[in-house]
A and B are shown apart, each in its own frame.
Chain A
Amino acid sequence: MSEAKATLEATALVDVRDLVVRFPVGRGRFIRPVDHVSFSLQPGEVLALVGESGSGKSTIGKALVRMIEPSAGEIWVAGRDVAHIRGRELKAYRKDAQMVFQDPFGSLNPTRTIEQHLAFPVRKYRRDGQGRVSDLIDELLAKVGLTPVSETRRKYPHELSGGQRQRVAIARALAVNPKFIVADEPISMLDVSIRAGILKLMNELREEMSIAFLYITHDLASARYIGNRIMVLYGGKVMETAPSAELIRHPVHPYTRLLFAATPGTRHQGPLPETSNRPPNLLEGRVGCPFADRCPLVADVCRSQEPPLVEVAPGHYAACHHPG
């Protein structure tokens, strides 16, 4: 390990090593939506996880906030491994790690006011005195741009638009003063004119409060906008990862290149290389490259040997036998 990398990891807020999540699918077989995934997050850093549906993004997010327990691997957060903590320790960990979901409609309770949504976590996790609860709620609502706060406090979720509800979800995550937030496709159900506001809000929180984000998306353009780094997943494995600017300028993995060509508005006209549109095979015991069935550059070696993730340029890693 290079010296630079060693110091980086020493100061990392989150350091995930060889994370594996497996689920039983009957007849003694298992799928592995997360297969030896490693990454780290610095305070205030945004890592964008990109990949198509079923590639394992949400599962990584859920394991990181410990909504599920990983099957193998380590999750170091602020110096301790939280991969298998339980009970009180796990409850305490909720203060560090929060998650915001895709569906701003489903994640709030229709019978509670916005004030009640926020009072609960504030009371539970902030020990700075009851008197401050009300002030803290005002502060949170102002921070996420839900003004005038006195009006917002009294409202019920159905009285808010999708974008406003997503802001409430973010305010609720912020209520416990977390070190990082997993944001799982937080804008994909919102209208275009509203999306930019949520992305900018995340940017402010990262800059002003040093909150780190694992930003999960299937959209490369928003990943590039908000992410310091981008990590491209396919079939539960990291295909390519690099600082955003580098990845956008020099994508080397065939899957990343396919994502590029498919993104609307990338003057990359002309038809895509023929691909089968088949979802990735997540079954355990799969051999070779997970992308082989759809890869225009597939060769014999791809079907027999899984390509390792190797550094192709400083800080730029790709898992491919024939990177472009």
Chain B
Amino acid sequence: MKYIYLDHSATTPINKEVLKAMRPYLGENFGNPSSLHYFGQKARKGVEDAREKIANFLNCKNDEVFFTSGATESNNLAIFGLIKKIRKQNKDRKLHIITSVIEHPAVLEVFDQLKKEGIEVSYLPVTKNGLVLEDDLKKAIKSETLLVSIMYVNNEVGTIQPIAEIGKLLEEINKKRTPEEKIYFHTDAVQAANYCDCKVSYLGVDMLSFSGHKIYGPKGVGALYVKKGTPISAIVYGGHQEQSLRSGTENVAGIVGMAKAIEMIGKKDNLKIRKLRDEVAKKLLAKIPDAIYNGDREKRIPSNANFCFKNVEGESILLMLDMEGIAISTGSACSSGSLKPSHVLLAMGVPQEVSHGSVRITLGKENTKEEIQKLIKALPPIIKKLREMSPIK
């Protein structure tokens, strides 16, 4: 059977060019970039060229890019690192931090942890379309506010948050505050990198996280942009790599691959992906009764379609499609081991019983019209079959 992959927000296949760029660093260029000899310098060059490419993409300085093991680590470093540094400077300072209710667990659970440690946390709500409102942020800001962390694009419903607008708002507010009172702004841009403008000057962010494996690059590698002058402490200790902010021998091949992937991000794919996605949404909504399209119709990345089908359960849909060779997801990949309904859909006001019937279809560069037609053909009978099985009609 030929399998069809429609789960690109979980991860993406490695691009051939990316793999080609990585190969030498898994072979002859195996050196440790911290070594001074020939082998080390070859590896160092790979890492530094990669840093430059990423800095170009973000429109920042090379030494503002820090390599990590992925976005989870980038988010942890950004948030814990800032708090740690500020506490070192003044351990009695009262702190308040703000995030949104729809963040990925790699941000939400960091905030939950800090809350347990006694820091005041505000969680911004979202509209029924899954968007954070600037006004809600304005209302949440206090004199003690130190950090705002809002994701650029939501991983479940694909909504694009008003990051540049929030950046401007915070810039205005910060003008009226002393440097000690500055509110720092972090964004998790993992799901945005393929489709949205990630120039940090445009966004007005102090820190930005992203990950290699969502952009047709390798897994286990990511980066954190940290604007010069942002107070931040390391959260792991060791050999002082990455300006001592992130110790540990660099994942050279991964870093090179991620940079190549960034270089290859193409606007021309977006149009094609959007067309296919719109076709999926239109046809499925027409063919399947009691279907709800979740998220905003305009402010969403071109790859994402998220539905709730009433009186069916997401996992059953996923497994039945899988048996037909089509890979999709319920809510998000990491929540498939959990019984709890999607925190994102609940925050958007989707009733709990409806949220159980949610599926996420995320397209990628290589998907074809034929593949999409197969999905459009396969899904309606599956929903029908599962509904026939259900005691609730």
A binds B: no
